[in-house]
Structure 1
Amino acid sequence: MALCHYYGGPQYGVSEFRFALELGLVLRSRRQTHYSLRGLLHELSDRLRHRGVVHHYLLPGQAYRENDRIWTVVGDDTLPSSPHENTRFGIRLVSPYFIFRDFSRWMHQVQDVFRVLYEDDFETTATHQCFTYVHIVPCRGYWHLRELKALAKFILHYEACLDALMPVYRQRSILCKSNRWNDWFRGRPNSRDAFADVDRSMASVKDLAFYMNVCGPHSATATALPHMRHMPAGAAHNTFRWSFTNLIMERSTGSRLTGFGTVVFRQPPAASSATEAMRWVLLVGCFAQLSRTHADALDPNGGASLKRLGECLLYQARCCGAPHRSLLKSMFDQAVPPAQRRSAAAALEYELVGPARIQPHEQEKLRHMELQKDIAADKYKIFAMRQCP
């Protein structure tokens, strides 16, 4: 029986989620020639204000106090900029933490932001290094360990299906590595063993975050980041399809162990329209809600079905009352089934092991990422302090 055929829907006790959207793009002005990031951010801020998007922007090195209820715009050193040749700059836009089912509010704001980026006086370039990240956390402000384990099982089980929705370069990049074939889970080639590890070996949020995002000392990531080479057991790093590394705080609430922080879906490419950005948010929100109730219904002996996942996500979207459900349907209609991508998926495991495989621009980006402020994490901390004083 298909998973969604007996799924009861979120109205029967499923926790609500909040999310933040993070967009990485390369931008230039059509109206003015800007040789500095300051000028471009100032013009972009004017256009956002004109559209009614409440926000603030930050200059490099500027001290700031983050606000989780407005958009933040910053320069991004990890994206290719060429101020003197064609006056392009890498920028990052981080949304407030929206309630997932407050569809009207967040969809309206996302549409306004993209009207500025693509319809006003700017030219936006989406390189392979650009990105769309979705940060997610329960509305209460923290995760229970059992919720994280359920989400981890869904991620491990359906990774190949989600790969089918991505361009090949987002399947093979060291910047969004496979959780299923990382240095820990590649030793558990079948889902039964992987699920057993999640259930039995991961007794804390810290354990789960480590094993979902572990890089070995001889991995390509450790090659690029020398401080990781001296950790014999490896180290957790955020450059995976799903990052759990923000779950750095752990606390006991009654008899339950809870994790404070967000889980981040980092695999989607740059969104070239509001509909693309909304599509990824719908996918992540529905995927997380499904995992809450049906991780135990997954068959570890059976293969993951792209068709079934699509049906269940659409069913979940209907239960949520989500508008624009056709965005999800079209995504799955256009996907290449995992079986047809098996050779690329098999190559992925080997491509990311050897140090010779890392590209120079990826190595440079990894090093820049180490120095970058995590704006979305700072926003989360403010939201969590308000929810859990």
Structure 2
Amino acid sequence: MEAPNSFQFGVEIELLMGSRKKAHPNWKALAKDVSKRLLKAGIANHINETNDKSPDNYREWSIVQEVTIPNQPAKNLWGLELVSPVYPIHTYWASDLTTIFTTLHASFTLVPSPNCSTHVHISSTPHPLSASGLAALAKAALYYEPALDRLVPASRRGSAAYWCQSNRASPGLRGLASLGDCLAAVDAAEAAGAVRPVVEVVNLFPAASAYGRAHGKVRDFVRGKVYKWDFTGMLSASSGGAGGQTVRGTVEFRQPSGSLVADDAAAWVTLAVAFVAGAMAVGLSLGGGGIDHGASMEELWALLASGAEMLGWESLGAVEGLFEQRRS
């Protein structure tokens, strides 16, 4: 089991937005306006035009152009991503989110869009998750998937969700008949005692896919940015691999929908971190007995409560509202 209270996180908030009072000629003009107003509100930030993933860019908030959100210049709307610094779990992060969204709503219009999402990166400190810890999280991601699906809109699950597909679509799992078989496959990967086999079982992508053919792939390859849970950052925890496209040493929960208010973002952060902590508490015990269906909402809540207790949190905060909205 991983040591408790050793987690930290970062959050990426994708937004389709525009100024309430003036038209911006391009994305950079909007980004400069957003940066100026956040600085005035006390949120240290910078514009990261090249989406550079080097550690220096995670010391404060950064503003990145989000290419997966189509710009709408005629409507003065632009796709933008706010990327947080690395936050310890016991710090002022929730108040920062409140300040950010209060500032944005005062001067900008934030438009709901199925193209927007909220991504949460979680890492452990001082050491990265071990192979067994990563396998425990992989098994939890598979087992609790039906309950997590109920917390997100239809655009973030099923065939509509290209950028957050089920990890069971990975070539390492997709040919298996039951959930129990999938959990057993993760156990088999963990038995190798290394991180890579665990990552590969849940984050492979087909060489025969359009992306694979376009990039000349002759065998299935690691690609995490299309799955609900992206573990590929663990491959670069010490080696700097994965082409610099993934935040190093983290697992990423990619399924949450876009956040339009601080409580939305806080709920997804709280849920993701508590889920990882809860999975560490459960360990590798999930599986066996011919499991053919995943967890209920009640089971998911119990896991999150266990994770919150492990983290020393008194409650699950905004997650309670998320459950109330989706429970019916």
TM above 0.5, one fold?
Answer: yes
Cα drift, residue 189 of structure 1: 2.7
Query: For residue 274 of structure 1, what is the amino acid of its counterpart?
Result: A
Q: Deviations over 1:133-161 (max 9, x none)?
A: 00010021522111111111111111111
Task: Please show how residues 303-318 of structure 1 align to structure 2 within 5 Å.
Answer: 303=293, 304-318=295-309
Counterpart of 1:162 (choices 143, 148, 152) is 148
What is the CA–CA distance in structure 1 between the aligned matches of 2:262 and 2:187, rounded to whole Å?
A: 38
CA RMSD of superposed structures (Å): 2.7
Gaps of 5+ in 2: 240-247
Equivalent residues of 2:180, 2:288 under 8 A apart: yes
What is the CA–CA distance in structure 2 between the aligned matches of 1:305 and 1:82, rounded to whole Å?
A: 40
Task: Please show how residues 289-368 of structure 1 align to structure 2 within 5 Å.
Answer: 289-301=277-289, 302=291, 303=293, 304-318=295-309, 320-322=311-313, 325-335=316-326
TM-score by length of 1: 0.74
Q: Indicate whether 1:198 and 2:198 are aligned.
A: no
Counterpart of 2:233 (choices 231, 243, 246) is 246
Tell me the equivalent position of 1:149.
135
What is the CA–CA distance in structure 1 between the aligned matches of 2:44 and 2:22, rounded to whole Å?
A: 23
What is the CA–CA distance in structure 1 between the aligned matches of 2:5 and 2:312, rounded to whole Å?
A: 15
What is the CA–CA distance in structure 2 between the aligned matches of 1:195 and 1:268, rounded to whole Å?
A: 23
What is the CA–CA distance in structure 1 between the aligned matches of 2:54 and 2:299, rounded to whole Å?
A: 46
Equivalent residues of 2:5, 2:312 under 8 A apart: no
Cα drift, residue 64 of structure 1: 8.6
Question: Computing the radius of gyration over CA atoms, which structure comes out larger, 1 or 2?
Answer: 1
Counterpart of 1:264 (choices 243, 252, 256) is 252
Tell me the equivalent position of 1:106.
93
Q: Deviations over 1:6-61 (max 9, x none)?
A: xxxx9x94252110000111111112211122221111111101110011113359
Q: Secondary structure at the match of 1:193?
A: helix
Q: Secondary structure at the match of 2:17?
A: strand
Q: Secondary structure at the match of 1:127?
A: coil
Tell me the equivalent position of 1:14.
4
Task: Please show how residues 378-389 of structure 1 align to structure 2 within 5 Å.
Answer: none
Equivalent residues of 1:228, 1:235 under 8 A apart: no
Counterpart of 2:164 (choices 176, 182, 187) is 176
What is the CA–CA distance in structure 1 between the aligned matches of 2:138 and 2:101, rounded to whole Å?
A: 32
Question: Aligned in 2, Cα 1:251/1:235: closer, same or farther, shift over 3 Å?
Answer: closer
Greater CA drift, 240-249 or 158-167: 240-249
Cα drift, residue 197 of structure 1: 1.6
Equivalent residues of 1:206, 1:250 under 8 A apart: no
Equivalent residues of 1:211, 1:236 under 8 A apart: no
Q: Secondary structure at the match of 1:246?
A: helix
Cα drift, residue 87 of structure 1: 1.9
What is the CA–CA distance in structure 1 between the aligned matches of 2:10 and 2:51, rounded to whole Å?
A: 23
Cα drift, residue 70 of structure 1: 0.6
Question: Aligned in 2, Cα 1:17/1:49: closer, same or farther, shift over 3 Å?
Answer: same
Tell me the equivalent position of 1:276.
264
Q: Secondary structure at the match of 1:187?
A: coil
Q: Indicate whether 1:208 and 2:194 are aligned.
A: no
What is the CA–CA distance in structure 2 between the aligned matches of 1:269 and 1:78, rounded to whole Å?
A: 14
Q: Deviations over 1:352-389 (max 9, x none)?
A: xxxxxxxxxxxxxxxxxxxxxxxxxxxxxxxxxxxxxx
What is the CA–CA distance in structure 2 between the aligned matches of 1:48 and 1:192, rounded to whole Å?
A: 48
Equivalent residues of 1:164, 1:335 under 8 A apart: yes
What is the CA–CA distance in structure 1 between the aligned matches of 2:51 and 2:120, rounded to whole Å?
A: 25
Equivalent residues of 2:9, 2:121 under 8 A apart: yes
Equivalent residues of 2:5, 2:310 under 8 A apart: no
Tell me the equivalent position of 1:58.
48
Tell me the equivalent position of 2:20.
30
Greater CA drift, 124-133 or 226-235: 226-235
Tell me the equivalent position of 2:60.
70
What is the CA–CA distance in structure 2 between the aligned matches of 1:29 and 1:127, rounded to whole Å?
A: 17
Question: Aligned in 2, Cα 1:61/1:318: closer, same or farther, shift over 3 Å?
Answer: closer
Query: For residue 318 of structure 2, what is the amino acid of its counterpart?
Result: L
TM-score by length of 2: 0.86
Equivalent residues of 1:213, 1:236 under 8 A apart: yes
What is the CA–CA distance in structure 2 between the aligned matches of 1:129 and 1:195, rounded to whole Å?
A: 31
What is the CA–CA distance in structure 1 between the aligned matches of 2:51 and 2:131, rounded to whole Å?
A: 37
- Identical columns (%): 27
